[in-house]
Chains A and B, each alone.
Chain A
Amino acid sequence: DAGVIQSPRHEVTEMGQEVTLRCKPISGHNSLFWYRQTMMRGLELLIYFNNNVPIDDSGMPEDRFSAKMPNASFSTLKIQPSEPRDSAVYFCASSLGGGPDTQYFGPGTRLTVL
């Protein structure tokens, strides 16, 4: 199994540009999570999906952030327009979706907004 796949691994962009991060969960997993890791706030949950439906997006910082999961094998996290304070590592994780599941994390995307 390839595990959770994220792309790109690194992204450097200028303030005001649109950024799209991509995630492919582990095949057969029904839940998908987007996290952001910063020095100040640690690892925080942004949004999670169950069976492709957004369940809780209370962690999404503001309207500039949006996430979609058009099918069971693909999700995107978009930031438009990006700002320097969005610089962080963004992780995607997936789990089977039943019970107290282990979440399996992808390698992360390191985003730098200049």
Chain B
Amino acid sequence: ILNVEQSPQSLHVQEGDSTNFTCSFPSSNFYALHWYRWETAKSPEALFVMTLNGDEKKKGRISATLNTKEGYSYLYIKGSQPEDSATYLCAFTKNAGNMLTFGGGTRLMVKP
């Protein structure tokens, strides 16, 4: 069983605050780490796929970093907006496969 853990489980912030959350995953047999954004009543939407240790990806106000040696990734949101409210999922792939093992998600709520 692969343990992909995310923290915190939920987070309430004020509009304009910057925030970050963590995904930890097994460091052995690493292949890729994915981040998804999942709004209520919609389907998960891909944000980033990262494969290299030290990778850093950015999309607008959202960025992510990857440390494959210690098995963690951070997702950062700068200047949170109410529309950023969603559950952020990370998923791990091992051994050059394409099966994703998802973490439990971090539910972000941004108050106006």
Interface positions of A (Cβ within 8 A of B): 31, 33, 42-45, 48, 50, 56, 91, 95, 97, 100-108
Partner of B43, one of A31, A44, A56, A106: A106
**Closest B residue to A50 using CB positions:** B98
Question: How many residues on the B side are at the interface (Cβ–Cβ under 8 A)?
Answer: 20
**Could you tell me the distance between the alpha carbons of A95 and B98 in the complex, rounded to whole angstroms?**
9
Residues of chain A lying within 8 A (CB to CB) of residue B105:
42
How far is B100's CA from A103's CA once the two chains are assembled, in angstroms? 9
Write the B61-82 contact mask toward A (1 if CB under 8 angstroms, else 0).
0000000000000000000000
Asked whether, in the complex, the Cβ of B100 is within 8 Å of the Cβ of A45, the reply is: yes
Pairwise interchain contact A107-B98, C-beta atoms closer than 8 A: no
Chain B, 8-65, CB within 8 A of any chain A CB: 31-32, 34, 42-46, 49, 51
Of the candidates B44, B49, B51, B98, the one whose C-beta lies within 8 Å of that of A105 is B44
Instruction: Say whether B43 contacts A107, CB under 8 Å.
Output: yes
Give bound CA distance, A97 to B99, whole Å: 10
Per a CB cutoff under 8 Å, which of A31, A45, A56, A100 touches B31? A100
- Whether B98 lies near A43 (C-beta < 8 A) is no
- Provide a sorted-by-A list of 29 A–B residue pairs whose CB atoms are within 8 angstroms: A31-B98, A33-B99, A42-B102, A42-B103, A42-B104, A43-B102, A44-B102, A45-B99, A45-B101, A48-B98, A48-B99, A50-B98, A56-B99, A91-B43, A91-B44, A95-B98, A97-B98, A100-B31, A100-B34, A100-B51, A100-B93, A100-B98, A101-B98, A102-B46, A102-B49, A103-B34, A103-B46, A105-B43, A108-B43
